[in-house]
């Protein structure tokens, strides 16, 4: 890593740190600028440059004026963090051995230089990052795929994105459903046999990585029982094992969080008041205790979404699912920088967006957080 890369990393980290100390007016200006840039890049491919710029500027100005300061501060932090993560990913790709044009037969230097010029892949990580950002901002494209000739990266990722999103969202919903039910039931009877058995299952789920869970499910339900297809994508039977593989480790963590939240909430004064009024235990739990019990779970949904998204790389490869994970793996193996960076950028954006949605959901559930916004 050269001096230029070190200076870029230090400058980006410093800029991120400064967003914490920006005054209110500066936060609104910076967040509005980032919103306008993000909306322009996101809508340019569908609306064209001028309509995307006008609509993006209008929506960004409205958001900068109406959104709470704390949320705007997180938006001001989000886009620079995406830029930093993209640069770090670029740097790691260049530090890895090999390059996109290294084959079994070494190409002459003149041919390699021509290929680098054609695909916009210079020998410097900083130069490639500058070309990539310029291409993304001014042309609205993720660049050409190097190993899949004649195809742009977005042409490869757009059909795969709904597959990965549906797989990840279903796994997250299943993890929350299983984890909350097991955790709340265990927290209502701490120290009981049900509590010990549920937490034992949770510990087992946390200990097993998803590729081990996936392999066990394939052996039992596909090879031994023949109930489900081994791999592929096409219908609900193909969803069962991948979704369960992704969901179980996070369901275990959510169960432990929900148990702790339930035990804490059930000891509060308002629960004693509700019981003193003669309300049935089911009403006390569902109406009064559940909202407070799931607050730790809602806070965990951001990291859980990040883990499920990144874990889908392994699961999609294991089950032969045509999602974005396959392109990330193929791009990493083939040193296709544009494909790897495009996939990583989409995942970074989704995780950032989901974290913002989790913050809003937490504020809606907890009035204390809502007042802080």
Q: Which of 145, 110, 140, 116 is nearest to 128 (CA)?
A: 116
Cα angle at 304 between 215 and 211, to 5 degrees?
10
- Summarize pLDDT for 330-340 with one digit per residue, the tens: 888 888 888 88
Alpha-carbon distance of 1 to 174, in angstroms, equals 43
Alpha-carbon distance of 208 to 184, in angstroms, equals 23
By percentage, how much of the chain surpasses pLDDT 90? 2
Q: Which of 28, 89, 84 is nearest to 60 (CA)?
A: 28
Give whole-number Cα distances, 52 to 37, 56, 57, 62, 94, in Å.
10, 6, 8, 15, 33
pLDDT for the residue 106: 62
Average the pLDDT over 103-129 and give the result: 77
Alpha-carbon distance of 155 to 145, in angstroms, equals 9
Domain ranges of the chain: 3-101, 155-372
Alpha-carbon distance of 158 to 320, in angstroms, equals 18
- Summarize pLDDT for 183-201 with one digit per residue, the tens: 888 888 888 888 888 888 8
pLDDT for the residue 174: 92
pLDDT for the residue 29: 82
pLDDT for the residue 368: 62
Report helix, strand or coil for 99: coil
Give whole-number Cα distances, 233 to 131, 223, 224, 237, in Å.
36, 17, 20, 9
Alpha-carbon distance of 63 to 219, in angstroms, equals 51
Instruction: Identify the CATH number of the domain defined by range 155-372.
Output: 1.10.3720.10
Sequence-distant (6+) residues with CB within 8 A of 278 are none
Residue 372 predicted with pLDDT over 70: no
pLDDT for the residue 370: 55
Average the pLDDT over 248-265 and give the result: 88
Alpha-carbon distance of 67 to 55, in angstroms, equals 17
- Summarize pLDDT for 50-77 with one digit per residue, the tens: 787 888 788 888 877 777 777 788 888 8
- Summarize pLDDT for 225-237 with one digit per residue, the tens: 888 888 888 778 8
């Amino acid at each position: 890593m050269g001096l230029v890369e070190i200076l870029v990393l230090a400058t980006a980290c410093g800029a991120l740190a400064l967003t914490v100390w920006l005054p209110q007016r500066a936060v609104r200006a910076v967040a509005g600028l980032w919103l306008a840039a993000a909306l322009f890049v996101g809508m340019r491919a569908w609306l064209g440059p001028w309509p995307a710029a006008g609509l993006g500027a209008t929506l960004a100005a409205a958001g900068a004026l109406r959104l709470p300061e704390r949320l705007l501060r997180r938006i001001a932090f989000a886009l620079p963090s995406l830029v930093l993560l993209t640069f770090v990913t670029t740097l790691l790709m260049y530090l890895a051995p090999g390059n996109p044009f290294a084959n079994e037969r070494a190409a002459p230097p003149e041919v390699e230089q021509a290929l680098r010029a054609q695909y916009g892949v210079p020998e410097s990580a900083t130069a490639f990052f500058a070309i990539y950002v310029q291409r993304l901002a001014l042309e609205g494209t993720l660049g050409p795929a190097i190993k899949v000739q004649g195809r742009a990266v977005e042409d490869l990722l757009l059909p795969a994105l709904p597959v990965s999103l549906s797989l990840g969202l279903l796994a997250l919903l299943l993890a929350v459903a299983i984890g909350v039910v097991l955790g709340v039931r265990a927290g209502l009877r701490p120290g009981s046999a049900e509590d010990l058995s549920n937490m034992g299952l949770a510990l087992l789920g946390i200990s097993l990585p998803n590729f081990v869970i996936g392999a066990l499910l394939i052996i039992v339900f596909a090879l031994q029982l023949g109930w489900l297809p081994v791999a592929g994508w096409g219908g609900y039977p193909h969803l069962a094992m991948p979704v369960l593989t992704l969901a179980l480790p996070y369901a275990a963590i959510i169960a432990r969080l929900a148990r702790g939240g339930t035990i804490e909430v059930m000891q509060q004064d308002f629960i004693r008041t509700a019981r003193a009024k003669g309300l049935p235990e089911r009403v006390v739990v569902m109406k009064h205790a559940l909202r407070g019990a799931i607050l730790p779970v809602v806070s965990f949904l951001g990291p859980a979404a990040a883990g499920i998204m990144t874990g889908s790389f392994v699961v999609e490869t294991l089950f032969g699912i045509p999602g974005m994970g396959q392109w990330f793996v193929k791009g990493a193996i083939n040193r296709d920088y544009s494909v790897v960076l495009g996939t990583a950028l989409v995942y970074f954006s989704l995780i950032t967006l989901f974290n913002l949605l989790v913050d809003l959901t937490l504020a809606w559930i907890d009035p204390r957080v809502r007042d802080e916004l």
